Structure formats: C-alpha cells, structure tokens
Chains A and B, each alone.
Chain A
Amino acid sequence: MTTTSMDTMTAMPDAASDERVATKRRLPKLGVTFGVLWLGTLIFLAVFADFMPFIRGYGQSLDGATNTRFGPGIDFWFGSDTLGRDVFARCIYGARTSLTIASASILVGTVVGGTLGMVAGYFKGWVDRVISIFTDSLLALPAIIIASLLVGRFDVLADSDIKFLGFGFGWMSRTWSVTIVFSLLSIAPVARIVRAQTLSLSQREYVLAARSLGASTRRVLWREIVPNVIPALTAVIFTGIAILLAAEGGLAFLGYSVPRPPSWGSMIADDRDKIEEAWWTSIFPCFMLFFTVLAFNLIGDRLARRFDIREAAL
C-alpha cells in the first residue's frame, strides 16, 4: 500500500458517508441492535429466573391445570404443555441449559483450538502437519453422529463402575457429557481459522521486527500474534455458539441432550407429535431457538465484517 492511499485512508470515514453507504450500514446495525437486546434480555431472564415472580418453575404443573393444556394467553404467555407446565418458564430455563452448554463448549474449544491453531500457524513444519491431521480428522467426523454416540456411551460410562486412574464417572451428567462432546467438536474449526490467521500474521513485518528486537517466542506470540487474532476469534465465538445451539437442538431431537431442565431441543422433540392439538408447545421453543441463533449469527457476522474490513485496510 502506498503512502498516498494511506494518507487518504485516515480521511476515509468522513468521505465514505455518502448516502448509499449510510443506508447499507444501517441495516446490519439494526440486526446487531436486535441481537444484543434479545441476548441481553434472554441471558438476564435465564440467570435470574429463580427470582422472577412471573417465571414459574419449569418442572411443576400449574395449580389446577394438571393434565390440561391451554393456549397462550395473559396468564400463560406461551400456554402450557400436556402436563400443565408453563411453556414460557420452560423456555427460559431451556435458555439457561442451552446457552450454558454452548458457551462453555465454545470457551474450551477456543482455548484449546486457538492454542493449537496458533502453534501450528506460527511454527509451521512438522508441528503444523501433526496438528493439521488432528484437526482434519476432527472435521471429518460426522458431528451429530459422533455426538450422539459419545453422549450415549457416556451415559453407560456414568452408570458403570468403571474407574480411570482411580476416578469413577458417576459425576458425568448429561450436561457434562454434552459439554465435553461439544467442546471436542468445536476445537477443529477454531484451530483452522486461528491457524490461517496466524500464518498470515506471522508474515507481517512487525512480527519480524519483534523477533529482531530479541523478543522471545512466547513474547512474540502473546504480544504480537494473540492481540491480532482475538478480533477474529470474537466473531468465531459468536458464530460458533450459534452453530452449537443448532447442533444441540438436533442432538436433543435424537434423545441425547439434557432432559431436565429441558433444553429447547428437548422441548421441540418431545412435543412435536402434539403439534396439531397444541402447536404452542413446540412452536415457541422453535422461535426461541431460531431468534437466539439468529442473534448470535447477526453479531458474529457483524464482527467478522468489521474486522475483515479492518484487516483489508491494513
């Protein structure tokens, strides 16, 4: 990039405010606003559900409503299900389950996958080759199949008295096993993206400059590479959560997710055959799932665009 274009670059934001660009920008911003509001509200409700007077328990039947179901109304916003449980409350508690699993998994995936990707991209050579074969293999695994298989096997493992290094597996609830499996599955995509990023970053001259200053490898990685990978990672995290939420739905449908408190997927799967008599029992969780995935995708997309634009400008 020449100086001329760089010098004009700094003045770009003002010059770019012609009408066309402005309208183009407003649309995704609207999306992000929706996404943030939706997620904010949802997370707030999910975290403080126990203290909210208008959120009932997810398990108990409503007084006098046993075995009856009724449609959405003023008292029961999303109606009640076959066992007389409040669908709205179950949706909120479902958010807690689904979001906890998805975000915990992506966190593990990001830390492990990010480290692997960075090491592969920075050191190249045989380290890269070994890590790449590992991530390629994880990527080639049919995700939903291996997930249901593993969760199913973990159930058996938790019930058995098998010990590994002296530890039993009784603690392995569904929440744990789904999180473990999802963590495993989110390693490879993160590693791939981070590797590509690191490969291009390590060619930058500021990395060479840092090395010529005598910075240790650890310092170069931490100070020069990591800060520049993180923007891309935030986009990956949001998009990743969206994907995991959807995957959780599929897993629940096959009967391998968390039944209690119910995840959205479990609610949809359990009540789908009653769709003709009581559409609200499955349609509302569907909407919750859809809007939440949408919210994460919108934010992720926005972040990706923003940092791509930034990368391109540099």
Chain B
Amino acid sequence: MAGTGDAHMRPADDEVLLRVEKLLVEFPVGRTGLKVHAVSGISFDVEKGETLGLVGESGCGKSTTGRAVMQLPEPTSGSVMFEGQELTALNRSDMREARTHMQMIFQDPISSLNPRRKVRDIVLEPLNIWKRGTKDERQALVDKVLEDVGIDPQRAATSQAHEFSGGQCQRISIARALVLDPSLIICDEPVSALDVSVQAQVINLLEDLKERYGLTLIFIAHDLAVVKNISDRVAVMYLGKLCEVAGSDDLYRQPLHPYTNVLLASIPVPDPDAEPLAVEVVGEPPSPVLPPPGCRFHPRCPNAQERCTTEEPVMRELATRHFVACHFPMDGTAVPAQPA
C-alpha cells in the first residue's frame, strides 16, 4: 500500500485548482539523527469546486499533508501547484499572500481561537492583516459572514471563545477562514472533536457554504463515515502513503484496497443483527520513524504475501477513475510481477 506512482493524477489543466506531487515531509526526532517519515511522497489533485476527502488512521500523516499544502511547515520536498503557482518556490511575502487564497480549519475548536480576544476581533483579524476595504466595509463583511455561519455578531463582539460551545467555536473558525474569500479550504478533522449531533450540523454548514462561496474543500478525517457524504472523491492514506483514490460512491460500493476494506468494515452499523466484522486488522500502525519495507501495510494486511514485503505497489486504475496501490487488491486482480 505504500502506493507510489501518479496514475490517478488528472492532466494539469485549468480545472485543477491544486496539484500536489511527490510531497515529502520528514521531521527530525529530537537530535537523534532519526527521522519521522510523516508523508512519504504522495501526489493528488483537486479540481475546482470538488471536495476531496483524505482519510486514514491517526498518525498516518493526513494532517501533516494538509499543513504541508499550506507550507506550514514547508514540505521537505515535492511540488505544490496552487492556482498555477508553485508554492514551494515562493518567497516569504508572496507565500503570505498566497495563503490568503487557501485557509484551514482545525480539529480542536477551542485551541483554534485565541482565548484572550473577542470572537468578533478574531474574525476581523484577517481583514486587518490585509487591510481589505474600509473599516466599515470590514465590519459589514464580518457581520455577514458571522450570520452566514450562524453566529450572532452582537454576541461575538462581547464574548471570548470559552463562552461558546465547541460547535459554535468551529463555526467561528469557519467564519475566520471565509472572510478572506479563499478558493480552497482545508478542513483538518473539523468535526472529530464534536458531538455526533453537532457534527452533522457543521458538515451541512460546510456543504452549504461551499455552494454559496464557490469553495473547493479538502476534508481530512479519520472516519470514512464522516467523509462519505461530503466528498466527491476520497483518498485513503496509510503511514504517509496513498492506498486508494476513487470517487466517493465507487469507493464505498467496492473498496479495492484491503485497508480501505477494513476501514469500511469498521464503521459501526446500527443493526444488532448485523454480521460481526468479516475482516480484522491486528495491532497498531508501525512507527513512521522506521516504516516497513515494501508495502507499508503488509505487516497488518490480511492479503499480504511474500512479494508485499519487498516490492512497493504502484497506483493503477482498476476500474474507471478508481485507483489502487496494491499487489493483491480485493477484486482478485493481482499485478503481474515485474520481470526482475
């Protein structure tokens, strides 16, 4: 599953808003000389108006991928093309400018908001940074956006973040992301910290705003169920690599990668008569400091064979626009071994 290759990439035309190629992010471990291979050369693209779901277990590098797109911190290597600009090549001030076209929403609604500032000022801050419009225009815009996300601007003017609930804080974060009128919003597990009832509200709000503001979304989550409805396309990540990329419906109807299969099977079904899990994955993901050779999923894969331990699978199209990096996918079409 340590899928490499770029068979799933679409041609870099005007429709593609973001094109990430061979993204590599490594962090040093203390001063030991070892490295965390957080993201190991993944490629993906997002078309205008599309929602890409990025799914994987905690620690698989999905958040790091999101941040690396924003160049926070800059990736170790790889290319990030956004609106026709190569972000990795930009200097600091151009990069600051470029960041305004893409925004992020974080997992922890409380920690995303400065506890010492009034919520309204937090939403106003981006406009102040970029000195957009007159003072009155800024105020009017902030009011409008706050109303769009369902927060009372009056209350926002007098309250700090801790006076709001988690769901409300997430709405405020969304408002802050929206005021700069970005084209891309990276949602880093925006609902994972929320109650299930609130999750649906926030997701609906995001879909609604996506229409209204003409947004493109990257929606990061560890839970396939959450991603299912909002995404047009889903990319599954494991230990810094991509496993499977497919349209949302295709992926759910017929998962081809054993890992995707496991993720799907582990979504709880509200039916007491449902059959117990047919597949099981043992143990926890290996450390990204010393990733396993070959396919990174092989130590836990039910389909793993000798070959998986040495040869890294490459992305290939098994069905229309349904890509998998696996030697022995779920539909039984094994890749012929490469002549050595």
Q: Does B236 contact A (CB under 8 A)?
A: no
Interface contact A223-B106, CB-CB below 8 Å: no
- Min distance, Cβ B243 to any Cβ of chain A, angstroms: 27
Q: How far is the CA of A205 from the CA of B106 in the complex (A)?
A: 7
Interface contact B116-A227, CB-CB below 8 Å: yes
Q: Does B99 contact A (CB under 8 A)?
A: yes
Instruction: Of the listed stretches A2-10, A83-91, A235-243, name the one at the interface; the rest are far from the partner chain.
Output: A2-10
- Other-chain contact of A204, B103, B111, B122, B180 (Cβ < 8 Å): B111
Residues of A within 8 A of B129 (CB): 213-216, 219
Q: How far is the CA of A3 from the CA of B195 in the complex (A)?
A: 6
Interface contact A7-B165, CB-CB below 8 Å: yes
Name the interface residues of B157-216: CB closer than 8 Å to any CB of A: 162-163, 165-167, 173, 176, 180, 193-195, 198
Q: Does A206 contact B (CB under 8 A)?
A: yes
Residues of A within 8 A of B115 (CB): 228, 310, 314
Chain A interface size, as a band, is: 20 to 34
Q: How far is the CA of A219 from the CA of B115 in the complex (A)?
A: 16
Interface contact B70-A209, CB-CB below 8 Å: no
Interface contact B166-A223, CB-CB below 8 Å: no
- Min distance, Cβ A144 to any Cβ of chain B, angstroms: 35
Q: Does A212 contact B (CB under 8 A)?
A: yes
- Other-chain contact of B165, A6, A214, A219, A314 (Cβ < 8 Å): A6
Q: Does A224 contact B (CB under 8 A)?
A: yes
Given contacts A7-B166, A209-B173, A213-B100, contact A1 B110 (CB under 8 A): yes
Q: Chain A 97-125 against B: per-residue CB contact (8 Å), 1 yes, 0 no?
A: 00000000000000000000000000000
B103 nearest in chain A by CB position: A212
* Interface SS, A side: helix
- Other-chain contact of B117, A3, A227, A314 (Cβ < 8 Å): A227
Interface contact B112-A216, CB-CB below 8 Å: no
Interface contact B165-A213, CB-CB below 8 Å: no
Interface contact B116-A6, CB-CB below 8 Å: no
Residues of B within 8 A of A228 (CB): 114-116
Given contacts A3-B167, A3-B198, A205-B106, contact A210 B100 (CB under 8 A): no
Residues of B within 8 A of A (CB): 67, 70, 72, 96-97, 99-100, 103-104, 106-117, 122, 125-126, 129-130, 162-163, 165-167, 173, 176, 180, 193-195, 198
Residues of A within 8 A of B (CB): 1-4, 6-7, 9-10, 204-206, 208-216, 219, 223-224, 227-228, 310, 313-314
19 further interface pairs, Cβ-Cβ under 8 Å (given A3-B167, A205-B108, A216-B96) = A2-B166, A3-B109, A10-B162, A10-B163, A206-B122, A208-B72, A208-B104, A209-B106, A209-B176, A210-B114, A212-B72, A213-B125, A213-B180, A215-B125, A223-B117, A223-B125, A227-B114, A227-B117, A314-B115
